[in-house]
Each structure stands twice: as structure tokens, then as C-alpha cells.
Amino acid sequence: MIGDEVFMENGTNDIALEYFRRLSDIATASFHEGEICSEIKNILIPFELKVSEDEWGNLYVESLVQKDNTPVVFVAHMDHPAFEVVEKVGNRLKIKVLGGHSKHVATTGLKLKVIADNLQAIPASILGVEQNKYKDTSIDNSDWLMVDYLEARLDQNTEIGNLPRPVILDLPPFEIDYGKEFIWSRSADDLAGCAAILAAITQASKRKFNRPVTALFTRAEEIGLIGARLAAQSGKLNNRSMVYSIETSSEIDGVKIGDGPVIRVGDKMTTFHNEPESLVRWYANQISKRSDSFKYQRSLMDAGTCEGSAFGSYGYNVSGIAFPLGNWHNRGKNSVEMEYISMEDYFNGVSLLYEMMTAKSPIAVTNSFPKISQNIKNRLKQSY
């Protein structure tokens, strides 16, 4: 299987795929991440890791080691763009938009699933933009949905429980195309990041961590990085920590799906920091020296803003690793579609995370220039 020689633990690629599938099978939305959080906890049960939550429901998974090396934090979010039912009259629904969506979601007849309080998925469909709602004229000139509410209808007048209730797109949860080596998911953003961190930290726990490691799974990223911002300002994390956003991010010019995970030097809002980027690049280069199948990219991924900017704004040193993503936010060319990433990119990203958690750590890594010799300095002191 792709990239197997990188791993110290046999079968990690298969585990990474299985975790991604398990998470993708679960409906998720901002404010409605409970089932994803529970599944992550279930995955972690057999492993010697400390698991806790903060008051906002962000999930912390910590290695049980005390070392002097700088702590690292790997952050991914548990939500995906979705909707929630805020009003129900008979089988007619008013649904609130949660996160950025393709304009195609306003298509009359688009299939949805309403998640009832018993977790049953109830079929529904879009009727259109809420009646009597002012429609932003830019909606016709943008690929993005520019309204806050839509009208929908349950296929049958069924009880769904107390409101609000989450609503997701009716798309297949998870598929693998072994021919093209693509992984398809209705919510790769950011369940791919969650699964990659889980695969690396669970397998690293069987070996030995090289430094204090925390995996942080956050809530409500899609509506403004809310969970990450609250975690950053809470002071719960060591302020010396280097924080890495583990994300999917839309394929852009200069970045290609299949050419490796991207070491992210910034996002739409900010550029990131030298020390954490130097560390991840050092580990990536170490893997490259012993594995011909490992490759990575480096870019400022400015299609969107990630949780690195949230932590950076509160004084943390940040960087990121991103999986180049197709159909970002289910935004197909002419319809709503599943998102997809490269299988090889995913495996190489997990390899890199595992390496950062377990391999020998450099004493210091910077992208600084070599020392200037005394002869060169003496020449510059001379007159022209």
C-alpha cells in the first residue's frame, strides 16, 4: 500500500482509512458535533492517552509524557458546512445556513437529511430561498450561497424532536476510488484532518512520544473558528506550544491534488511562523531521504481561513498541514457533490504527523542562513 515503508507501525494506512470512514459515516454540523466527538472517544478507548473536554465541548487528547522538547498541538475541527431546522410547521421547515455553501444548495428539490433527536435521518428537500426574504443580488454572480435561511420540506410529516435539529446534504458518506486513488467524503473538511490526527496519535501511543503532544478537536469552525478561538484564549494549552492546523484546503494554482500534503505557510487571513514551519519541514525532509514514495508541497493556501490564524491571533506560534481538496464545501461545478482528496496525500500526511510525534527531535531547527565567514565580513569592511 502507498507509503507503507514510512510507518514504524504496520497497518497504519488501513487504520487511517478506517477512522476516516467511521467519522464520515456520522452526520455533523456546527453546534451538532456530539456524535463525532463520541466516536472519537470510542476510537481512543484502547490507547493510553489522556482525554478531556473544555466547557465548550472541544476535545483534548494528550500524550502521557513529560519531556523538555517544545510541546506540539495538532488541531482539526469536527464540524462541516450544514444547516439546522429552526422552525417546523407541518412538514415545512425553515432551515438556517451553517457555514459556507455552494449556490447549488438553493436548487429546488435538492435532497437533504434531517437528523431527528433519535438520530434517525429523515428525508427532506429544498423548496428554495425563504419567501419574503431579501435576496442578495450577488447570489446570481457568485459560486456561493448568499442567504442565511432556506425553506425545505420533509418528505413526510414526521416528528423530529426539539429544535434546532441538524440538517445535512443527502450525499454518500464515504467512498474510495482505488483506480484514481481518491478518497471521497461528504465531509472531508475536516473529518480527514480529524482522522489523520487520530491515526497518528493512536499509533504513536504504542511506541514512544518524542515530546508532549496534544490533539485538539474543535467545534463550530465553519461559522467563525469559534471552538479554536475559545480554546486559544482559555489558556488551557501551554503557551510555548507550536500549534499546527490539520485541514483540507481547496486546490489552488501551484498546488495539485496528488503531489503531497501541503506545509501551509499561511491562509486567507494571515501568514504563519518560522519555527513551527521549520520543524515540520525538517521532519518531512527526513522522511523524503528514506522513502521515494513520500512527497510534500509548500504553499500559502489562501482560499479560506483556518484555525492557525485563530491561535496565531492569541500569541501562539503556528503552522499547518493541508490536504489539497476537490469540491471544497461540496461545491461541484454544476451541482452539490462529495469532496475528495488524494489517498497518497492522506497517507503521506499521516506519515508526517506520526514522524513529528515519535521520531528523534532536532535540538533546534530554523530556516536561517549559514554563518557568514570572517573573510567575507573583512572584505565588506574594505573600501570599494
Please indicate whether residue 356 or residue 68 has the higher confidence score (pLDDT).
356
- pLDDT level of residue 158 (50, 70, 90 thresholds): very high
**Sequential DSSP letters for 171-199:** --SEEEETTTTEEEETTHHHHHHHHHHHH
Q: Locate 102 and state its grid cell.
A: 455552494
Select from 3.40.50, 2.40.50, 2.40.10, 2.60.120 the CATH code of 82-169.
2.40.10
**Res 1: pLDDT:** 36
**Res 134: pLDDT:** 46
**Secondary structure (3-state) at 262:** strand
Nearest to 111 by CA among 98, 122, 99: 122
CATH 2.40.10 residue ranges of the chain are 82-169
17's CB contacts (< 8 A; 6+ apart) are 176, 183
Query: For 213-222, what is each residue's pLDDT tens digit?
Result: 999 999 999 9
Nearest to 260 by CA among 274, 242, 280: 280
Distance from C-alpha of 104 to C-alpha of 363, rounded to nearest angstrom: 51
Beta strands in the chain (DSSP E): 50-53, 59-62, 72-77, 82-89, 92-98, 111-115, 121-129, 149-154, 165-169, 174-177, 182-185, 213-218, 242-250, 262-266, 297-300, 317-325, 339-342
137's CB contacts (< 8 A; 6+ apart) are none
Nearest to 13 by CA among 158, 21, 289: 21
Q: Which of these ranges, 89-98, 132-141, 346-355, 373-382, has the smallest mean pLDDT?
A: 132-141
Q: Look at strands 72-77 and 242-250 and give their pairing.
A: parallel
Q: Which of 9-23, 127-141, 341-355 has the highest mean pLDDT?
A: 341-355
Nearest to 329 by CA among 99, 115, 65: 99
The DSSP code for 77 is: E
- pLDDT level of residue 382 (50, 70, 90 thresholds): confident
CATH 3.40.630.10 residue ranges of the chain are 4-80+172-358
Mean pLDDT for all residues in the chain: 92
Distance from C-alpha of 146 to C-alpha of 7, rounded to nearest angstrom: 45
136's CB contacts (< 8 A; 6+ apart) are 146, 147
Distance from C-alpha of 64 to C-alpha of 54, rounded to nearest angstrom: 18
Distance from C-alpha of 237 to C-alpha of 233, rounded to nearest angstrom: 9
Report CA 289 to chain centroid distance, whole Å: 27
**Res 7: pLDDT:** 46
Q: Look at strands 59-62 and 72-77 and give their pairing.
A: unpaired
Nearest to 32 by CA among 215, 163, 125, 157: 163
**Res 141: pLDDT:** 56
Q: 4-80+172-358 has which fold? A: Aminopeptidase (3.40.630)
Report CA 274 to chain centroid distance, whole Å: 21
- pLDDT level of residue 138 (50, 70, 90 thresholds): very low
Bridge partner residues of 213 (DSSP):
72
Nearest to 8 by CA among 279, 196, 192, 208: 208
**Res 3: pLDDT:** 40
Query: For 325-365, what is each residue's pLDDT tens digit?
Result: 999 999 999 999 999 999 999 999 999 999 999 998 776 66
